[in-house]
Amino acid sequence: MKQGIHPDYHTIKVVMTDGTTYETRSTWGAEGDSMTLEIDPKSHPAWTGGTRTVGEGGQVARFKKRFGSFSLNK
């Protein structure tokens, strides 16, 4: 392994959104720093089974809403 080209790999503390903490090794920050997460698997809808609310629908729904009254009859 070449010397001097690899980032420093050290221990940091990760603080989850509910306040729980764990230690892991990372190249982020410096030795002993704390990383506070804003979104984690305990709060993100992708892991909790939550759904996203879609207000107006997609592109097709907006097109039909806007131009639905026009017809191509001659």
pLDDT on residue 53: 61
Of all helices (H) and strands (E), which one includes residue 68? none
Q: Under DSSP, is residue 37 helix (H, G, I), strand (E, B) or coil?
A: coil
Position 54 pLDDT exceeds 70: no
Q: Please tell me which residue, 25 or 55, carries the higher pLDDT value.
A: 25
CA atoms within 13 A on the CB side of 67: 5
Q: Percent of the chain scored above 70 by pLDDT?
A: 88
pLDDT for 6-41, tens place per residue? 899 999 999 998 899 999 999 999 999 999 988 887
Q: What is the pTM of this model?
A: 0.54
What is the pLDDT, as a whole number, of residue 47?
73
